[in-house]
Amino acid sequence: MTTRRGQPALPLDFNLPRDWREIQGRDGRTYLQFTTHMVTFYEQTYGEHSRFFMALRGGRLIGSKCTTCAQVMVPAATWHCPNCNFAEMREVELPHRGILAHTAPVTVFPSASFIGDAPFARGYVDVATDAPIASYLPSRLRTTTGLERPGIFVKGIELKLVFEDERVGSIRDIFWVPMTEIPPPLRNKQPLLASELNFASPVPPEVKKDPAKAAAKDRAMAAMRKLASDVERSRRAQADLANRAFVLGIKTGGGDFALDVANSRLLIREGLPDKSDFILVADDPDVFRAWVNDGSLTDAAVEGSLWLPNKEAFQVLPALDRLPRSTRRDLREAK
Ligand SMILES: [Zn+2]
């Protein structure tokens, strides 16, 4: 069983430079401030939760079921029913399929501990659907169809339980995927492992080429080329792109184009590139004109009007989103 020994509890690069500086107090006086730290390490048991998390490590999902009222708790938070004078609860094996109990939110701007993980979706899954009373299991939700976005994890859809290949005994050892995305031969497999599904190269959605959208695409190209030429004269915008290099192939209903970032410059080209880091899809080309006019590609991705394959693609958007404002500030100051 995995123990992940040898990895530090606190990341080794989690640190601050030793520093002394003068700061202004609320009373207007000057005070001296220095950087220091406070760390406490401790070992914690899972207590009564241990059985549940040990089962996850073994590729099983269990609940505790009251022998009196038949309610099922998942996670198995206690083994003595709080509703029946602490009557004994027995272990029940739960199915690896469930129903999403409510439409799940997609978290885009998470708290500090989850920054590398965003965007992500999580929701409450009804697993013990046969029980008279049952809790919902809070879990991660993932899709094989690209970045998590609205419209996928809606109330009532059927979900398949998937286990990470390497498990430690954490609620992050499991996640759920819409059953319709699971190849039929795998739908009854228990446990189904993450490595048996393809998350790495999702198929981009089809866009119907619509001649009515060609004009919108031309307007978007003109706006982006203007932005690219403004970047040539904006040190702020060039700083936004410094040390970044990527090629985006972009499919829209009005036609395809490429967006290159290299050497602190932006380049817009007609047609899909031969090689790209990411393929993005937007049925409406206006998504890109709106971006140049102080909109945001991040917002478009969050709303679902811009399709992205994965988080890595999402992480290139903030630098692009800064360009319209950076160029405008620099060009205004130059006047
Ligand atoms: Zn009970």
**C-alpha to C-alpha distance for 180 and 185, rounded to whole angstroms:** 12
DSSP string, 231-263: HHT-HHHHHHHTT--EEEEEEETTEEEEEEEET
Q: How far apart are the first and last CA of the chain?
A: 66
Residues 221/257, Cβ–Cβ less than 8 Å: yes
Cβ-count burial 271-288 (b if 16+ within 10 Å, e if not): ebbeebbbbbbbbbbbbb
Question: Residue 27: is its pLDDT beyond 60?
Answer: yes
**Ligand 1 centroid, distance to 91 Cα (angstroms):** 13
**Ligand 1 centroid, distance to 291 Cα (angstroms):** 56
The model's pLDDT over 231-272, given as tens digits with 9 standing for 90+, comes to 999 999 999 999 999 999 999 999 999 999 999 999 999 999
pLDDT confidence of residue 112: 78
The model's pLDDT over 278-317, given as tens digits with 9 standing for 90+, comes to 999 999 999 999 999 989 999 999 999 999 999 999 999 9
pLDDT confidence of residue 4: 57
**Ligand 1 centroid, distance to 100 Cα (angstroms):** 24
**Ligand 1 centroid, distance to 139 Cα (angstroms):** 24
- 77-88: average pLDDT: 93
pLDDT confidence of residue 206: 93
**Residues with Cβ within 5 Å of ion ligand 1?**
66, 68-69, 81, 83-84
pLDDT confidence of residue 15: 84
CA-to-CA dists, residue 230 to 18, 271, 332, angstroms: 40, 22, 11
**Ligand 1 centroid, distance to 71 Cα (angstroms):** 6
pLDDT confidence of residue 295: 92
pLDDT confidence of residue 139: 94
Structural domains of the chain, with CATH: 47-196 (no CATH), 211-329 (3.30.1050.10)
**Ligand 1 centroid, distance to 321 Cα (angstroms):** 54
**Ligand 1 centroid, distance to 60 Cα (angstroms):** 23
**Ligand 1 centroid, distance to 95 Cα (angstroms):** 21
**Ligand 1 centroid, distance to 92 Cα (angstroms):** 14
- Going by C-alpha positions, the residue among 146, 109, 141 that lies closest to residue 124 is 141
Question: Residue 335: is its pLDDT beyond 70?
Answer: no
- 81-104: average pLDDT: 96
pLDDT confidence of residue 1: 41
**Ligand 1 centroid, distance to 49 Cα (angstroms):** 18
